[in-house]
Structure 1
Amino acid sequence: MTAALETIGLKKRFGGLTATDDVTFRLEKGARHALIGPNGAGKTTFINLLTGVLAPSGGTVLLEGADITRLPPDARVRRGLARTFQINQLFPALTPLETIGLAVSERLGGGWHWWRSLGTRRPIMAEIEAVAERFGLTDILGERTATLPYGKQRLLEIAVAFASKPRVLLLDEPAAGVPEAERADLLAAVAALPREVSVLLIEHDMDLVFSFAERISVLVNGALFTEGTVEEVSTDPRVRAVYLGEAEH
């Protein structure tokens, strides 16, 4: 079966530094897959290569079997590859209604003009409402994003990515900075993502990784160190030495 997302011999060098070292990786369709590794392992570089933010020094990126290695980020989004960021990229002055509406309209080719004909664009409003309900944002749709609790902002960013109707969704540390009291809603929203969306989670929070992932890949020094089920990876003494053990210090 064709993978949802795949890399073959992916490399990235910055001068004499190898940040991504010949990574061959496969994200299956419908996957719940986590990518973990110590600080400096190259996780962000790898995600930037997948999404087109960085051009590789070598290797190939395939989305559902199609070569997207040289496509720009916006073209990858149109083909069904979406992401969130470690630090949210939201517009603080907009409301969630406007932000989700913009994402839906961009997907449909309307861009910033969606709101001008809001009264005649019921399909867009219906989709905004459905996305907001899925991510628990219905009660704050009219509030400025800058005033929202940080957990709600993280949920909104996932909602915006989801509104692009991706077939592959990359979640880059969605729990980063979220207070403990708000984490349950975020974990529930991630767990409830539909199976037709293949998900790669990049995360330091091992509780989230172990509760969400069915398969885990470990990146160390830019190279794929090991991969397996949650049980295999969590009990691997080499992984505990290079990653889990580090978190205990």
Structure 2
Amino acid sequence: MTALLETRHLNRMFGALQATTDVSFRLERGARHALIGPNGAGKTTFINLLTGVLSPTSGEILLDGKAITGMKREARVQRGLVRTFQINQLFGGLTVIESLALVVAERRGEGWNPFRSIGRARGIDTEIADLLRGFGLESVAGETCSDLPYGKQRLLEIALAIALKPRVLLLDEPAAGVPEADRQEVLSRLAALPSDVAILLIEHDMDLVFTFANRISVLVSGGLFAEGTVDEIAHDPRVKDVYLGGGQHG
């Protein structure tokens, strides 16, 4: 079966430093896949290669069986490869509803006029209402993004990513920095993401990883160190030694 997203022998050098080493990786359709590893393992570099922020020194990246290795970032998004960031990338001066309207309108190629009533945009108001409800943002729809509590900012960023209609969604530490009181809502919204979207979760929180993912890849020193089911990774003594801290998480 053809993977939805795949890398073949991916390498990235920064001068003499090998940041990504011969990574061959597969993300299946509808996957809930986590990418973990210690600090400095190369997770951010790998995600930047997938999304076109960086170009590989060698190797290949395929989306739905077609090479996207040299494709620009915007073109990858249009093909359905979307990411969130560890640090929020929001439209600070816009309201929640304006931000969603902007993304939905741009995705449809209709453009967005801030002076036009959102409700008059063809079908956009219905889609926005669904997103607001689906991510628990109805009560803050009219608030400016920069004024939102941090947990709501994280939810909005994920909502904006879903508004792009991704086939592959890369979530970079979606619960990072979220206060404990808001954390459960973020986790429940993640669990409810559309099942037809393949998700790669980059995360340090192993409780979240073990709850969310059904498959885990472990990156160490830029290379794939181990891969398997949640149970296989949780009980792999090699993984415990390099990452989990022997004896933790079963």
The TM tier, using the shorter chain, reads over 0.9
**Alignment of structure 1 residues 1-249 onto 2, 5 Å:** 1-113=1-113, 116=116, 118-245=118-245
Q: SS of 2:38's equivalent?
A: coil
- Could you tell me whether the CA contact under 8 Å between 1:10 and 1:24 is conserved in 2? yes
Cα shift at 1:120: 2.5
1:114 Cα deviation from its structure 2 partner? 6.3
Q: CA deviation at 1:122?
A: 4.0
Contact 2:101 2:118 survives alignment (8 Å): no
| Aligned-residue offset at 1:183 | 0.7
Secondary structure of the residue that 1:196 maps to in structure 2? coil
Root-mean-square deviation (CA, aligned residues, Å) is: 1.5
Larger proportion of helix = 1
Comparing 110-119 and 153-162, the one that deviates more: 110-119
Q: Aligned equivalents of 1:211 and 1:119: distance in 2?
A: 38
- 2:100 & 2:119 partners in 1: Cα distance? 16
Contact residue 171 and residue 202 of structure 2 kept, 8 A: yes
Q: State the 1:4 CA deviation.
A: 1.2
What is the SS of the residue equivalent to 1:131? Answer: helix
Offset at 1:31?
A: 0.4
Flag as ranges the 4+ runs of structure 1 deviating above 2 A. Answer: 110-120
Distance in 1, Cα, partners of 2:22 & 2:181: 40
Pairwise CA distance, 1:117: 5.5
CA distance in 2, matches of 1:232, 1:220: 17
1:99 aligned counterpart, secondary structure: helix
Give, in angstroms, the shift of residue 71 of structure 1.
0.6
* Matches of 2:119 and 2:177, distance apart in 1: 37
Mapped contact 2:34–2:201 kept (Cα < 8 A) = yes
State the Cα deviation string for residues 72-106 of structure 1 (Å, max 9, x = none): 11100000111000001002111110111111111
Distance in 1 between residues matched to 2:94 and 2:118, nearest whole Å: 16
CA shift, 1:115, in A, is 5.3
Q: What is the CA-CA distance between 1:127 and the residue it aligns to?
A: 0.6
SS at match of 1:193: coil
Q: Which amino acid in the other structure matches residue 194 of structure 1?
A: P
**Structure 2 residue identity aligned to 1:149:** P
Unaligned runs of 5+ in 1: none
Q: Deviations over 1:34-79 (max 9, x none)?
A: 0000000000000000000111111111111111111111100000
Which residue identity is paired with 2:174?
Answer: P
Q: How far apart, in 2, do the equivalents of 1:143 and 1:241 lie?
A: 46
TM-score by length of 2: 0.96
Q: 1:114 to 1:144 in 2, by over 3 A?
A: closer
TM-score when normalising by structure 1: 0.96
